[in-house]
Amino acid sequence: MNEDRIIRTEYSEEMQKSFIDYAMSVIVARALPDVRDGLKPVQRRTLYDMHELGIRYDRPYRKSARIVGDTMGKYHPHGDSSIYEALVVMTQDFKKGLPLVDGHGNFGNIEGDGAAAMRYTEARLQKITQEAFLSDLDKDVVDFIPNFDETEKEPAVLPVKIPNLLVNGSEGIAVGMTTSIPPHNLSEVIDATKAYMMDENISNRELMRYLKGPDFPTGGIVINKDELLDIYETGTGKIKIRGKVEFEKAKGGKTNVVITEIPYTMIGANISKFLMDVAALAETKKTQDIVDITNQSSKEGIRIVIELRKDADPENFVNLLYKKTRLEDTFGVNMLAIADGRPETMSLKQILKANVDFQFQVATRKYTNLLAKELERKEIQEGLIKACNVIDLIIEILRGSKDRNMAKACLVEGKIDGIKFKSKESKIMATQLAFTEKQANAILEMRLYKLIGLEIEALINDHEETMANIYRYEDILERRDSMAQVIMNELDVFKKEYGKPRKTIIENGQEAVYKEKELEEMDVVFLMDRFGYAKTVDMATYERNKEAADAENKYIFTCKNTGRICLFTNTGQLHTIKVLDLPFGKFRDKGIPIDNVSNFSQEKEELVYITSQSELNLCQVLFVTAQSMMKIVDGGEFDVAKRTVAATKLTEGDSVVSVTTLREQRNIVLQSKDGYFLRFPIEEIPEKKKGAVGVRGMKLSDKDYIEHVYYTRNTVETTIEYKGKNIVLNNLKPAKRDGKGTKIRV
């Protein structure tokens, strides 16, 4: 290897330089639109390729695969998927305010179904794309640059005659920056452009008299009208949009909530998510108003029908949808585009200024070229008219010349050497000829039928038309007002032919306020069987089925239907469940697994104690762990809103053996695995915070641990069975906390 070719450099510097180069390439050449034509490179190249292939709006469709392949081979070597995706988006009228491509076949739908493969679909340019984006490419109005391998030329920018960046908007993710520009109404954008052209000192506030705000193809309602001015002045902000809702009377006095327009951000898979979110409102009992939900959307438009109960409040329910689903959503605006070769966040006025400046540049080049052509035509026409007046002399010169060059020299310079004339007068007149080179060539190539009277008259008329064009083009180029009028006239034509009424309503909407129906508080009975299935029933139902309920369920207690259930586990966790999340009703209903409505997992932890929040608030709670750590905690500490919190602190390897609420218990009895029993008064256990470890209740030998915890009352005899022997706990020798206890031998 030649050592002279090895470049020694700092690794970090090389990485930094390479990444910056890559980032700028992505920003400028891939992800962000140009403020002048509002197109990303892939869109511009696809449209130009279709123009080159002649796939016009008035010609047959061509296979998308042909368009994609040709674009990729000539201009955009970044993979066929990116090109086809760009082509698909340019056909979708639910994404673009002004679709640029006319698609034939399955190009996807608003509900998120993807387009068919490119070999099945066909496309051609839309009429407005041909007229407003590509029509002047043959007039040398924009620069052409080499393609990636310098075998073709492509336009650096398309000569777009409308502010496409605003009309169609744009979304793109570059490196370290994103663009998100909403679509706008074509007629309003044109009106705002004309207003700027008539007064370049116009403010954004005044511009918004013409351009009211975004106009999404999906319609909907923008509800923060007062915030739009700041968004259009800074180029960034958040637009709040809502779907459009109607109420329809249904059978039985019921009301159907019908969604006819959705927020722009909901198109695609988010429609399915919205349906699932609405269903979840019913499943989680956020509302009990929903009877049924159906998606009746079709090619005619969006129609999502939610059937409500007879006594439901439709307005209140819609507010719930606004608060809990994407029926009200936010569109983040960041009007970032490539201006003068670099990314820039632009205001509404800056975007219009950049576009108008571009229109003047294009028009200047266009009319400069047209003027040059008309001046050339004028020169030739004047030469032919002059020639017709002396046609006999010219014929005499042609007949007397030996070759074309001799005749041309006579016409241009008056040279008569070698030319035979019939008379001296002709010879003298020939020396006075002074046609230009172009005039002489036109005369020499003129056909004889042009000498017919009508042809000469037509030539004079053409000359008059040419002179009128020259005067017009010079006026346009010399006077900015004239050029502005031409541009505005073109804009008026586009507005008249392609303008459509606004779809999105813009207003200052009131914040959605959902009033939950006040639940009548009552006592219910919580039932949970040994398999972990839980439910609640009313007191009367429990009393009627008390014997069966007591036999079939492991946990039974009374609680408030507005309260919470508290689950203490061996891992020291407290899981809470809203009573309303549990099924309420019939005694024979199976119930719901406790795992499904809480963070408790039977696979990872064991349930030690379960009670109601209201019970805890009235009591103290006593904890005992396997390593004999104990404490009493005020039950109010467990009145928490979180679904899971730490109920106690455990040392490594320890676990909770017993949790109980203290009522009439007077003594506690600890039983270890090795058969030691220790009885002492509960008063000896100190009260601690739930975050404390506690104090030792019983001295344990190695590998011994607390197996059971019992409680006794002073006047009630408590008997347990231990290894086949009945033991009266009240008769155990009273001791002090932190003793070893008495060994029970069987």
Q: What is the CATH number of domain 523-743?
A: 2.120.10.90
Give percent of the chain with pLDDT exceeding 70.
Answer: 95
- Residue of higher predicted confidence among 63 and 309: 63
Mean pLDDT (the chain, rounded) = 88
- Nearest 5°: the CA angle 149, 155, 156 is 90
623-640 core/surface letters (b: 16 or more CB in 10 A; e: else): bbbbbbbbbbbbbebbee
- Burial of 508 (C-beta count, 10 Å sphere; 0-12/13-18/19+): exposed
Is the domain defined by 39-159 classed in CATH 3.10.20.30? no
Q: What is the dihedral of CA 654, 658, 659, 664, to 10 degrees?
A: -140
Longest dimension (CA), the chain: 161
CA distance 570 to 163: 67
Give the contacts of 714 (CB within 8 A, at least 6 positions apart).
Answer: 666, 667
Amino acid at 161: K
Query: In which residue are the tokens 């008026």 written?
Result: 492
Q: What does the pLDDT average to over 272-301? A: 86
3-class DSSP string for 503-555: CCEECECCCCCCCCCCCCCCEEEEEECCCCEEEEEEHHHHHHCHHHHHHHCCE
Q: Which 8-state DSSP code applies to residue 31?
A: I
Q: What is the pLDDT of residue 634?
A: 93
Of 204-208, 510-514, 637-641, highest mean pLDDT:
204-208
Q: What is the pLDDT of residue 406?
A: 84
Contact 262, 303 (CB under 8 A): no
How do residues 357-378 score in pLDDT, each as one tens digit? Answer: 999 999 999 999 999 998 988 8
Contact 144, 155 (CB under 8 A): yes
Q: Is the pTM of this model over 0.75?
A: no
Q: Phi and psi for 147 in degrees, rounded to 5?
A: -80, -170
Q: Which fold has domain 354-498?
A: Topoisomerase; domain 3 (1.10.268)
Pure H helices in 27-147: 41-52, 64-74, 80-89, 127-132
Judged against a pLDDT cut of 90, whether residue 433 lies above it is answered with no
Residue 631's closest CA among 653, 610, 649, 652?
Answer: 649
Give the contacts of 683 (CB within 8 A, at least 6 positions apart).
Answer: none
CA distance 710 to 657: 11
In the chain, the N- to C-terminal Cα span, in Å, equals 90
How do residues 455-493 score in pLDDT, each as one tens digit? Answer: 778 888 888 989 998 999 999 999 999 999 999 999 999
CA distance 646 to 661: 17
Query: What residues does 678 pair with on adjacent strands?
Result: 670
3-class DSSP string for 167-190: HHCEEEECCCCEEEECCCCHHHHH
Q: Where in the chain is the domain with CATH 3.30.1360.40?
A: 244-326
How do residues 141-168 score in pLDDT, each as one tens digit? Answer: 999 999 888 899 999 999 999 999 999 9
Give the contacts of 88 (CB within 8 A, at least 6 positions apart).
Answer: 103, 107, 108, 115
Q: Phi and psi for 725 in degrees, rounded to 5?
A: -115, 135
Judged against a pLDDT cut of 80, whether residue 540 lies above it is answered with yes
pLDDT band at 24 (very low <50, low <70, confident <90, very high): low
Q: What does the pLDDT average to over 10-22? A: 69
Pure H helices in 596-673: 613-618
Amino acid at 362: V
- Nearest 5°: the CA angle 336, 337, 343 is 90
How do residues 112-136 score in pLDDT, each as one tens digit? Answer: 888 999 999 999 999 999 999 999 8
Q: What is the pLDDT of residue 1?
A: 46
In 3-state terms, what secondary structure has residue 692?
coil
CA distance 698 to 683: 15
Question: Between 3.30.1360.40, 3.90.1200.10, 3.40.50.1370, 3.10.310.70, what CATH number should domain 244-326 receive?
Answer: 3.30.1360.40
Amino acid at 646: A
Q: What does the pLDDT average to over 317-343? A: 91
Judged against a pLDDT cut of 50, whether residue 644 lies above it is answered with yes
Q: What is the pLDDT of residue 30?
A: 64
Q: Where in the chain is the domain with CATH 3.90.199.10?
A: 39-159
- Nearest 5°: the CA angle 123, 129, 133 is 135
Judged against a pLDDT cut of 90, whether residue 246 lies above it is answered with yes
Q: What is the pLDDT of residue 447?
A: 75
Half-sphere exposure in the Cβ direction for 595 (13 Å, CA): 8
Contact 110, 94 (CB under 8 A): yes
Contact 89, 95 (CB under 8 A): yes
Q: What is the pLDDT of residue 29?
A: 56
pLDDT band at 412 (very low <50, low <70, confident <90, very high): confident
Query: What residues does 153 pair with on adjacent strands?
Result: 146
Annotation says 498 is catalytic? no
Point out the catalytic residue in the list 48, 57, 61, 120: 120
Judged against a pLDDT cut of 70, whether residue 105 lies above it is answered with yes
Judged against a pLDDT cut of 80, whether residue 15 lies above it is answered with no
Half-sphere exposure in the Cβ direction for 579 (13 Å, CA): 27
Half-sphere exposure in the Cβ direction for 390 (13 Å, CA): 20
Phi-psi region of 415 (alpha: psi -120 to 50; beta: other; left: phi over 0): beta
Judged against a pLDDT cut of 60, whether residue 103 lies above it is answered with yes
